[in-house]
Amino acid sequence: MDDDEQDGDKQETRPRPDFLTKPVLSGELVLLRAVTDQDLPALRPMLEDPEVARLTGSQGEAPDEARLQAWYRTRIGQDDRLDLAVVERATGQCVGEAVLNDWDGPNESCNFRIALAPGAHGRGLGTEATRLICGYGFEKLGLHRISLEVYAFNPRARRAYEKAGFQQEGVLRDALRWDGRWVDAVVMSMLAGDRQRA
């Protein structure tokens, strides 16, 4: 193989996104910002709630206070993910978290997940938080693709993702075993170009 052929096989590498900067993203209903120790009392009930655990497929015990603090403190310094608190503007209270993680450099993509505290659903908070963090991912971090999985028993979340611009790609059959039953996971994604066409 000559040099020209080898050069043609090389992919252009873009600069690594700046995940270390924790932006403040402001919408009409929510504000996204870095998670602080003061948010932990609000996040803890979310992590301990059986319904939140079911909808996110989280099996196992919620972390104790010390582990929870350590977990969020390590998120600040990671350069391959972005964890932000979701703050309801009307109350100033932290009501959840929105996360871009699993950075895949060669494919310029990330996974997305969001979790809201009990009582924070059904008011458009999650949809707006999703739009804000995904918009930041495409516009500021230079992502090409953001993907997620949502379990079949969580149609409310699926509708929120669709409102935010995600499209279904396929189904992972029997992806989760919950209470003795198998549950499918719907794979969804949004591309940078999808936002430009919308």
In this predicted model, what pLDDT tens digit does every residue of 145-196 receive, in sequence order? 999 999 999 998 999 999 999 999 999 999 999 889 999 999 999 999 886 5
Long-range contacts of 173-182 (CB under 8 A, 24+ apart): 175/149, 175/151, 176/57, 176/151, 178/54, 178/57, 178/59, 178/151, 178/153
The domain limits of the chain are: 18-148
- Per-residue pLDDT, 12: 60
Cα–Cα distance for residue pair 15/3, rounded to 1 Å: 24
Are the C-beta atoms of 119 and 110 separated by less than 8 Å? Answer: no
- Give me the CATH topology for the region 18-148: Aminopeptidase (3.40.630)
- Per-residue pLDDT, 11: 57
Please write the tens of the pLDDT for every residue from 48-63.
Answer: 888 887 877 887 776 7
- Per-residue pLDDT at 118 exceeds 90: no
Q: Residue range 98-115: average pLDDT?
A: 95
Torsion of CA 74, 79, 80, 86, to 10 degrees: 60
